[in-house]
Amino acid sequence: MGMARRTLRAHTIMITSAPCPKPPSRAPQPAPGPELLRLLQLSSSLCPIGAFAFSQGLEQAVERGWVPDEQRLVEWLLGLGRYALAGLDLPLLLRAHAAWTLGDDAGALGVAERVLANREARELWEQEQELGSALSAVLLNLGVTRAETMRTKRGSSYVVAYALGAAHFGINAQLTAFGYAFTWSEQQSSAAARLVPLGHMATQRVLSRVLEDIPRWVSQAEALEDDQIGSQAPGLAIAAAWHESQYTRLFRS
């Protein structure tokens, strides 16, 4: 009996002390670079530029009954993404990124003028300038000295300031476009949560559906020639213009 116990004990020790099998070897995966973290910083809702104060025509669209519920909101945002962002903001963002990367500051400021010239309503034009100036101040605080011209120049543009931050921190052009489109989508979803209104879960469903479409916007923007760039969203222009005279409102645009 004593021999059996010793044998069992020894067998147990052998089992428990046996080495664990190793997982199959894999090729080392590169760690995400710091440029991804910088993109998240530029795109964060915590970036102090005051974007939460603007609805970009959405408040008037809700007031007019164009966007009464979750489904219509998705349709509104997808329409703007495909016919405004993909046709105007993103292709000009890519051109501004290229200019900043090449050290062509004058070319980048020329893109800013084109962005502003394509803002169809006063409030959209003011929003572009104010957010651009505010983001430029943030970039200056982070050591991006070239942002000084964007902060003080009357033709400041959020699209071009965003491109400057991305180019400075080594974020490639395509990733920059994804970050910009995400920032726009999140801000619009946040505004809709207060305006439609939507609950937290519905807001996330809307955002999720819009994010699925962003690769399409970026691909479309990358394929456009200079003479093809422009917004095709008359509903946005009308809503933004009408918003100027809306009696009670939460947002500045």
List pLDDT tens digits, range 75-108.
999 999 999 999 999 999 999 999 999 999 999 9
Contact yes or no for 136/150 (Cβ under 8 A): yes
Least-confidence region, from 147-156, 169-178, 223-232: 147-156
- What percent of the chain has a predicted confidence (pLDDT) above 90? 71
**The Cα angle at residue 24 between residues 19 and 27, in degrees rounded to 5:** 135
DSSP string, 70-137: HHHHHHHHHHHIIIIIIIIIHHHHHHHHHHHHTT-HHHHHHHHHHHHHT--SHHHHHHHHHHHHHHHH
DSSP summary character for residue 33: P
Q: What is the pLDDT of residue 11?
A: 44
Q: What is the pLDDT of residue 234?
A: 92
Encoded tokens for 110? 């020329």
Q: How far apart are the C-alpha atoms of 121 and 244, rounded to whole Å?
A: 9
From the list 60, 89, 72, the residue with the least C-alpha distance to 252 is 60
pLDDT surpassing 70 at residue 17 = no
Taken in order of first residue, the domains within the chain and their CATH numbers are 50-243 (1.10.4190.10)
Q: What is the pLDDT of residue 149?
A: 86
Q: At what angle do helices 173-195 and 200-223 cross, to 10 degrees?
A: 150
Q: How many Cβ atoms sit within 10 Å of the Cβ of residue 87?
A: 22
